[in-house]
Structure 1
Amino acid sequence: MINTEITTVEIFKRTEGDEGGTHLVAVKLGQNAKLLTAPVSPTRKIVFYGDSITAGMGNEAPHNTGDSNPVDKNHYLSYAAITARNLNAEFQSIAKSGIGFMISWFDFIMPQYYDQLTGENDNQSQWDFNRWQPDVVVVNLGQNDSWLIDDQKRLTATPEQIVRAYTNFIQTLQEKHPNAYFICALGSMDATDFNNRDNHWPEYITTAVHNIKQLDKANGQATNIDTLMFRFTGYGAHPRVNQHVDNADKLTAFIKQKLSW
């Protein structure tokens, strides 16, 4: 009797680039086993640029504990990865906890980090954007900027400066991904607390996107960009898996509507 059992192996890094490297050294096959042709990759492609929310920080932690332990971080169960599976899309995530587009909890920001080949903090590696072009670009940044500018007062920035900095970064990404549809997202932590009258971060994002749309129209270009807000639920820590699932469902439906996927 011939055993025709087929086993599929998926290797997925749960944690971030600077939290241990992943190296596939060898594959050892059993007697009479053989490697089959790899499955065909999905034709749809999505890239995510984000911070700890996108990375999945603390998403598997108990609700009544801290969320900074790497063992509780599972990017496979982040809204990004779940959305990609919902849409049968190949995806990439350029995400780092603590990063912002104007200021981070460390000495570099996403406009300095986004184009690296490796995610091991700030380094000189360079990604070739021609190797892999997405259909959809999702940017979810601003949470750390809001904390560090509004709460920590580590950077003084006017609303105009914030909008300009965000606009400039999105336009840089548009140059790298010229044919992609852009979703400028925010949330679901307190940067999208719509009950806080002193919180203007959703307004900053929507204003920047509006300005980009107006400029595209003036230049006779298609306006392939929109905003999407993941509402703050009132939960004071990083989103847990149930919140990631909800946000993924919202993002999935949004992409399906916009691109007829």
Structure 2
Amino acid sequence: MMERVTQMDKEIFRSHLMQAMDKIRMRDQLEYEEVQLLVEPMHEPDKSLNGADEMMRLVVLAPNNVQHRQFTVDEAVNLLCWHVPLVPLWIDVSLVEAEQKREANSELNRRVHMNISANEELETIAISAVPHMKIHGRTTGQRSPVTLFWTGSAVECNVKGAEFWVEIESSYDLLEPWISIIINGVPVSRQMLIRGRAWICIFRGMNPAVVKNVRIIKDVQAMSVDPGNSLQFHAVKTNGAILPVEEKPLKIEFVGDSITSGEGAIGAKTEEDWIPMWFSALHNYTFMTAEALHAEYRVISQSGWGVLSSWDNNPNGNMPEYYEQVCGLLKGVQNERLGALEPHDFSSWQPDVVVVNLGSNDDGAFQSPAWTDPLTGQVYKQRLNEDGTYHEEDLAKFEKAVEQFLIKLRKNNPHAHIIWAYGMLGASLLPAIYRAVDAYQKQSRDHAVSILQLPNTTEETIGARTHPGELSHRRTADVLTDYIQRVLK
């Protein structure tokens, strides 16, 4: 018989519990190395309970905390003595029938074994050997590893399993890559990638019988100012199966500048730093339009670039010159090795619609100082007249560049409807674009080319870095979606 209890704390409670268990062991002549405890609250209908008792009954000893659970001695003591210095004065300790205990232990062991096996059974597969892995965006035929170059480029697959990882390699000198993760059509994660090669867990603990659509998207444009920037996918690992991805009925290619790269589409209006954090492939009219039309899409874009020159009059910053390469605006030995300068195989992916959103930086060139070629000393400047109007000769150069780009687009995309969409940061060059498109159509008799004026960005819809924000991109996506639907009828 145990002595009368006159005081109690956590250590005394544990000591008395161990004494009771030891008496049961000797009484029943049991031999064991490890003890597991079941906690079964007993309802006493005639006993009044204070606040601490009610908390113990309703929270600590609630069925979801104790039912069908087995505790170690320390776990049980911590549970029952959670409200120190208030500690139970007495508990009833009894032995569970040996057969019942063996079944419970067997079930517990089986569950533990299954959980361990699930982790051990993750299969690593090289990206080149992954069945049904869909690659979005212009890239090379190289699949060991897969390199993503452009904004909105992605890898996509359907996974039937509980857990899924990807092995990613990130490289940069100045400007780090960012990615966004979409599961079943909903963005769930966005992150900066550090240098090096690492495994990233996309999901775990999900229902293994349910198919999950996974897209991992490059959030940042091809960085022409950082030759060391790259993003590659080496492998995946999962405990499930990779299943085919649904083919979408429409393909759209977007060609543009910083607006199309999603610069400033995320972040506060006060942000002015030119860093990858403030680029977004998702808060972007390209993504929004493609989603609304249930379309597969690609983006070819670069901040500051135009049709004839970049915003600062540099003639090397023109998109048409590099359009026929995989990602020719990238420089350096690393990008050449990755295949960025290779000719693009247009037969591998033919768009139904090509949307060109260029002209904002060409307008900026008229407002900016001259640019001098450091190698030749030649000076380049799109001029304004004294009254602020565009210099006729220089405006004609812009119109000719638009016309020539349309010829190149049609040569490589013979069946696409081409839409020159312009106006998110003003539309002062719109009359010149109209003249250029008209000249092209008269020469080519190609009537599958049209012009769409986009909604201008306002104080309400502006984003970071004085660029269109998410609201502006949404307004543009709505207008563009409606227009494409009408064009393709």
Shorter-chain-normalised TM-score: which range?
0.7 to 0.9
Instruction: Look up the match of 1:164.
Output: 400
SS in 2 for 1:22: strand
Q: Name the amino acid aligned to 1:170.
A: L
- Return the alpha-carbon distance in structure 1 between the equivalents of residues 433 and 277 of structure 2: 32
- Structure 2 residue 53 is the aligned partner of structure 1 residue 53: no
- Return the alpha-carbon distance in structure 2 between the equivalents of residues 171 and 28 of structure 1: 45
Q: Name the amino acid aligned to 1:49.
A: V
Q: Name the amino acid aligned to 2:330.
A: N
* Contact 1:58/1:69 (<8 A) preserved: no
Q: Once the 2 structures are TM-superposed, how far is the Cα of residue 172 of structure 1 from its aligned partner?
A: 1.0
Q: Name the amino acid aligned to 1:146.
A: D
Instruction: Look up the match of 2:321.
Output: 112
Instruction: Look up the match of 1:24.
Output: 233
Q: Deviations over 1:39-62 (max 9, x none)?
A: 122121110110000010011021
Q: Once the 2 structures are TM-superposed, how far is the Cα of residue 152 of structure 1 from its aligned partner?
A: 3.3
Q: Aligned to 1:249, which of 478, 483, 489? A: 478
Q: Once the 2 structures are TM-superposed, how far is the Cα of residue 72 of structure 1 from its aligned partner?
A: 1.7
Instruction: Look up the match of 2:60.
Output: none
- Structure 2 residue 438 is the aligned partner of structure 1 residue 210: yes
Q: Name the amino acid aligned to 1:160.
A: A
TM (norm. structure 2) is 0.47
- Return the alpha-carbon distance in structure 2 between the equivalents of residues 169 and 136 of structure 1: 15
Question: Which ranges in structure 1 are unaligned for 5 or more consecutive residues?
Answer: 193-198
* Contact 2:307/2:398 (<8 A) preserved: no
Instruction: Look up the match of 1:4.
Output: 209
* Contact 2:260/2:284 (<8 A) preserved: yes
Gap change, CA 1:3 and 1:164, over 3 Å in 2: closer
What RMSD, in angstroms, separates the aligned Cα atoms of the two structures? 2.2
Give the 5 Å matches for 1:166-181. Answer: 166-181=402-417
* Contact 1:46/1:89 (<8 A) preserved: yes
Q: Which shows bigger deviation, 90-99 or 149-158?
A: 149-158
SS in 2 for 1:28: strand
- Return the alpha-carbon distance in structure 1 between the equivalents of residues 326 and 401 of structure 2: 23
Instruction: Look up the match of 2:367.
Output: 150
* Contact 1:58/1:70 (<8 A) preserved: no
Give the 5 Å matches for 1:112-151. Answer: 112-118=321-327, 121-122=330-331, 124-151=341-368
* Contact 2:403/2:437 (<8 A) preserved: yes
SS in 1 for 2:243: coil
Instruction: Look up the match of 1:230.
Output: 454
Q: Deviations over 1:157-189 (max 9, x none)?
A: 522222111111111111111111010111301
- Tell me which protein shows more strand as a share of its residues: 2
Question: Which ranges in structure 2 are unaligned for 5 or more consecutive residues?
Answer: 1-110, 112-206, 332-339, 372-380, 383-392
Gap change, CA 1:11 and 1:3, over 3 Å in 2: closer
SS in 1 for 2:402: helix
Instruction: Look up the match of 1:196.
Output: none
Instruction: Look up the match of 2:286.
Output: 80
Moved over 6 A (4+): none
* Contact 2:351/2:413 (<8 A) preserved: yes
Larger radius of gyration: 2
Q: Which has the higher contact order (CA 8 A, sep 6+)?
A: 1
- Return the alpha-carbon distance in structure 1 between the equivalents of residues 344 and 230 of structure 2: 18
Aligned-pair identity in percent equals 29
* Contact 2:308/2:397 (<8 A) preserved: no
